[in-house]
């Protein structure tokens, strides 16, 4: 497959995943904003979310104060915000348009009609669109695209490059969501276990559509260590770091098998997977959750870098 084609498929998937994450962040922020304002929670909360998507600066320059309406617009529609749902979907669709030939008509249709919907929503009066609607629309649109990919795309190399885009981005995004929650909202460990903490953790779970799943998996109370286990080490939860890295390994293995050529990316991904599979929550808390997440994001980015070099640049080795 043409390297540039692979690259566009890969980035299309990454942007779809990213759009979904932004919508999830919006949900976390909005729900947390409904919580009693303890310890400057409201403003800090939104800022933390913007920080997580790396767009706090852009927002401040443009809007100054963190008002919820501004935030919604910024996170959803604003084309100046590279992480907004609109920007991500536009990027995803542009990547898809370029490799129109590598997509089934169902996948392209799902991608393109989602984008057309989004443009229509953009023209709709803002007061007619609730944040919940916007976030749900995003999840549905992304599910539709994913579904088309899963049910119609040939299981060829292109499919696995899309898969890699999803899993690498998802690993990064879950780590980021977790890091917002832990690092920015709770700089001090003494907050853990307070009432506020509980509700905010629950919000985080909700945003990952994982609230009920969590309760099915873990009987009993929500604790920081159970949440960390669930989001990082649980092999059943589809958004956990372990599951995401496992997905990365599988896609890389498929590619290597198809090309009859092992890659450095495989060994890097396997090493990371091995570490997660062995890890205990206690180890992670000992290292420091933030430190652990930062290291994880670096390693994950490292794998993405090797994928880039090995497959997406296409220069003779």
Partner 1 sequence: MTRQEQTFFNEMLTGSDVRAAYESLQRWQADMPSELRTLKQHEAEELFRRVGITFAVYGEGGDPERLIPFDMFPRVFTADEWRKLDRGIRQRAAALNAFIADVYDRREIIKAGRIPEHLVTRNEAFEKAVVGMRPPRNVWSHIVGIDLVRTGRDQFYVLEDNCRTPSGVSYMLQNREIMMRMFPQLFHENRIAPVDGYASALKRTLASVAPQKCDGEPNVVILTPGQFNSAYYEHSFLADLMGVDLVEGQDLFVEGDFVWMKTTEGPRKVDVIYRRIDDAFLDPLCFRPDSMLGVPGLMNVYRSGGVAICSAPGAGVADDKAVYTFVPEMVRFYLGEAPILENVPTWQCAKADDCKYVQENLSELVVKEVHGSGGYGMLVGPKADKAQIEAFRAKIAERPENYIAQPTLALSTVPTFVDEGVAPRHVDLRPYCLVGEKIELVPGGLTRVALKEGSLVVNSSQGGGVKDTWVLAE
- Chain contacts with partner 1 (rule: CB under 8 A): 1-6, 94, 97-98, 100-101, 105, 108-109, 112-113, 116, 157, 161, 255, 259, 261, 311-317
Instruction: Name the residue nearer to partner 1 (CB basis): 5 or 207.
Output: 5
CA nearest neighbour of 229 among 177, 287, 276, 162: 276
Tokens encoding 187: 């700089």
Q: How many CA atoms lie within 13 A of 72 on its CB side?
A: 16
> What is the smallest separation between the CB atom of 101 and partner 1, expressed in angstroms?
4
Q: Are the C-beta atoms of 298 and 304 separated by less than 8 Å?
A: no
What is the nearest approach in angstroms of partner 1 to the Cβ of residue 168? 16
Min separation Cβ 234 and partner 1, Å: 32
| CB nearer partner 1, residue 157 or residue 179 | 157
Nearer to partner 1 by Cβ, of 94 and 287: the residue is 94
Tokens matching residue 60: 């401040």
Instruction: Work out how close the CB of 163 gets to partner 1 at its nearest, in angstroms, rounded to a whole number.
Output: 14
* Smallest separation, CB 80 to partner 1 (Å): 20
Choose between 253 and 287: whose C-beta lies nearer to partner 1.
253
Contacts of 51-55 spanning 24+ positions with Cβ under 8 A: 51/180, 51/184, 52/25, 52/176, 52/177, 52/179, 52/180, 52/184, 53/21, 53/22, 53/25, 53/83, 53/176, 54/83, 55/81, 55/82, 55/83
- Cβ-based nearer residue to partner 1, 86 or 177: 86
Give me the least distance between CB of 3 and partner 1, in Å please. Answer: 4
Q: How far is the CB of 145 from partner 1 (least distance, A)?
A: 15
Q: Which is nearer to partner 1, 34 or 317 (CB)?
A: 317
303 vs 312, beta carbon nearer partner 1: 312
């Amino acid at each position: 497959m043409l390297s540039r084609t692979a690259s566009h498929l890969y980035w299309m998937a990454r942007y779809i995943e990213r759009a979904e994450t932004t919508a999830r962040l919006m949900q976390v922020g909005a729900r947390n904003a409904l919580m009693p304002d303890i310890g400057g929670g409201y403003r800090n909360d939104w800022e933390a979310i913007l920080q997580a998507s790396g767009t706090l600066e852009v927002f401040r320059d443009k809007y100054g104060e963190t008002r919820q309406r501004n935030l919604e617009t910024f996170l959803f529609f604003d084309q100046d915000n590279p992480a907004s749902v609109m920007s991500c979907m536009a990027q995803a669709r542009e990547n898809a348009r370029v490799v129109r030939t590598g997509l089934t008509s169902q996948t392209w249709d799902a991608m393109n009609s989602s984008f057309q919907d989004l443009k229509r929503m953009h023209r709709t009066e803002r007061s007619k669109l609730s944040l919940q609607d916007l976030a749900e629309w995003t999840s549905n649109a992304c599910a539709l695209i994913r579904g088309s990919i899963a049910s119609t795309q040939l299981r060829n190399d292109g499919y696995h490059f899309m898969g890699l885009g999803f899993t690498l981005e998802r690993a990064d995004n879950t780590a980021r969501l977790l890091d917002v929650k832990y690092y920015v909202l709770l700089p001090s460990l003494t907050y853990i276990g307070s009432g506020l903490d509980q509700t905010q953790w629950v919000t985080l779970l909700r945003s990952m559509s994982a609230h009920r799943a969590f309760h099915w998996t873990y009987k009993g109370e929500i604790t920081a260590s159970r949440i960390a286990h669930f989001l990082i080490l649980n092999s059943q939860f589809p958004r956990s770091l372990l599951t995401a890295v496992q997905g990365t390994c599988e896609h890389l293995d498929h590619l290597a098998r198809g090309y009859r050529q092992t890659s450095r990316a495989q060994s890097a991904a396997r090493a990371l997977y091995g570490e997660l599979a062995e890890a205990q929550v206690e180890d992670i808390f000992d290292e420091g959750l933030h430190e652990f997440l930062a290291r994880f994001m670096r390693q994950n980015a490292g794998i993405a870098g090797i994928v880039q070099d090995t497959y997406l640049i296409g220069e003779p080795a």
